[in-house]
Every structure is written in structure tokens, then in C-alpha cells.
Amino acid sequence: MNFEPFDTGLIVQRLLQAVPELQVVGSAADYAAVKELRSFRTPSAFVVFSEEENTGRIPTSIGVCSQEARVRFGVVLALRNYREQMGEQMSDQARVLIGQVRTALIGHKPDKGARVVGWDGGAVLDYDASVLLFADRYQIQYLLHKDVPCRQGG
């Protein structure tokens, strides 16, 4: 890592490797390109960067060489959703895929400068007769550091 924002491409790579059932694993741009629910290819996952912040564990000072950051990101899943007679909002297949994605990410260490991924929560975003959008929120702490040797004063 360096002082650049966290690379969510590492999360995309993890999902591609660990959850082969997903038809598409994309980024926030891919997610934003879909304009209506029925246009999602199911099952799909989209990794969306949310925010990052300084944890405050490493004081900021002149010539600082590193900072610890907490990044939050989401994984939006577009899953097949058949409206059932019983009024269920989520099929067994959707629950299984959500579990597979969580299993792939919770406790995963994507980079040597990062800690493990933790889960914050999940929620149904939207659904219709054929597609369910479900989002899980995750966080990870990682070390921002200068790639060049640190010198006093910066």
C-alpha cells in the first residue's frame, strides 16, 4: 500500500476466485451502469467503495511515514428472486450466495498492509418479481505508508 485509497479491486479478485457461482463481479461503475432491476445479470456482485478515515492510532506529524486507515465498502448482490406464494422476500438460493460471499470476505486478508475484512451489516435494497438487490457492508483497516524512504520534514 501507499497513500492511495484502498484498492477495492483486491475484493473483486477475491470474489472472482472464491465464488465461481457469480456470473459477474464488477465495480461501482459497473453497478451504476445498470438502470433497472431486470437488467442485472444474476447472480452478480458489485464492490462499491464507501469511505475511509484515519483511525487516529498513528499521530500525524511532520514527515509522517504512515497512517492507519479504516475503509468501508459494500458488496451489492443482484440475485434471482422469484416471488413466492408464501410472501418470502429471499429464496434459499439467494441466502446461500450471500453466505458464500460473506464466507469469502469475512476474515480475508487482501494485502500485506491490511488487516482482515470485517462485516458491518446487510440489507435488502430493492426487489421485484425477478431480481433481489442485497447489500452487505464491510470494513478493513490498512496501513497507508510512503513508498519512498521517510525523511524528517517530509
The span from the CA of 121 to the CA of 47, in Å, is 15
The span from the CA of 79 to the CA of 81, in Å, is 6
Decide if 74 is inside a domain: yes
Please give the average per-residue pLDDT across 102-112, as a whole number: 94
Residue 53 pairs with which residues in a beta bridge? 70
As for how many domains the chain has, the answer is 1
Instruction: Please give the C-alpha separations between residue 62 and each of 30, 38, 152, 153, in angstroms, as whole numbers.
Output: 40, 53, 7, 5
Decide if 15 is inside a domain: yes
Instruction: Please give the C-alpha separations between residue 120 and each of 91, 95, 136, 139, in angstroms, as whole numbers.
Output: 22, 17, 7, 7
Local structure of residue 114 (DSSP, 8 states): B
Decide if 152 is inside a domain: no
The span from the CA of 148 to the CA of 17, in Å, is 32
Decide if 2 is inside a domain: no
Q: How does pLDDT run across 46-83, given as a tens digit for each residue?
A: 999 999 998 888 777 666 778 889 999 999 999 988 66
Q: How does pLDDT run across 128-148, given as a tens digit for each residue?
A: 878 999 999 999 999 887 766
**Which CATH number fits the domain that encloses residue 50?**
3.30.2000.10
Decide if 138 is inside a domain: yes
Range of the domain at 22: 9-145
Q: Note the pTM of the prediction, 2 decimals.
A: 0.86
Please give the residue that has the higher pLDDT: either 92 or 46.
46
| Contact status, residue 14 vs residue 47, Cβ threshold 8 Å | no
The span from the CA of 70 to the CA of 74, in Å, is 14
Decide if 154 is inside a domain: no
